[in-house]
Amino acid sequence: MIQALIFSFVSIFILKLSWTSLKNPRSHGFFRFFAFESILMMVCYDLAVWFKNPLSIYQLISWILFIFSVAVVTYSFLLFKRIGRPSGNIENTTSLVQTGIYRYVRHPLYLSLILGSAGVFLKQIDLFTTILFGISLISIYLTAKFEEAENQLKFGVNYTQYIQKTKMFIPFIF
């Protein structure tokens, strides 16, 4: 029951933040909504086992992934805000960020979602969480691809060169 309440209340918040994007299936925010919702659904579904067997290997790896996720999102967001100089809405960046973690990964904020999603998945591995984890990964990938198309229009040749120098999510690999 508590999981359903948490899911409902947080979903309303996510829906409110994503409302404009949901009207445009060609925007990165459209797919990001589904990434957030699938991760939230995993969190709520797994809530009862978050602290069960705290020293099991899956639990330990899960917490390590969460710690990395928080570190990546915090560092990336601060860098993004300082160098990207958003105008009004955080999404409206005025400068292309290519330093710090952005030097190696084009989408560190989405990398943090992947790490967090993997951490949640490891809390309880079953068919339902596997499907939700898959949905979150696909949604994050599509979010990044659509955002790249938007950035290409916004930053032009600079973004094309940036894509050629950096990986999407994992430094030196992918």
Distance CA 94, CA 17 (A): 21
What confidence score (pLDDT) does residue 45 get? Answer: 96
The span from the CA of 84 to the CA of 107, in Å, is: 13
Kindly state the percentage of the chain with pLDDT values over 90: 91
Structure-block tokens of residue 126: 């079953």
How high is the pLDDT of residue 89?
A: 76
**pLDDT of amino acid 119:** 98
Question: In angstroms, rounded to a whole number, what is the distance separating the alpha carbons of residues 80 and 107?
Answer: 11
Predicted pLDDT at 143: 97
Q: How far apart are CA 66 and CA 53, in angstroms?
A: 17
pLDDT at 163: 97
pLDDT at 174 over 80: yes
CA distances (Å), origin 3, targets 41, 46, 47, 112? 9, 9, 7, 23
The pLDDT score that the predictor gives to residue 92 is 80
Mean pLDDT of the chain: 95
Phi/psi at 167 (5° precision): -90, 160
User: What are the pLDDT digits (tens) for 81-110?
Assistant: 999 888 877 778 889 999 999 999 999 999
Is 74 buried (19+), middle (13-18) or exposed (0-12) by CB count in 10 A? exposed
The whole-number pLDDT of residue 141 equals 98
Q: How do residues 11-66 score in pLDDT, each as one tens digit?
A: 999 999 999 999 999 999 999 999 999 999 999 999 999 999 999 999 999 999 99
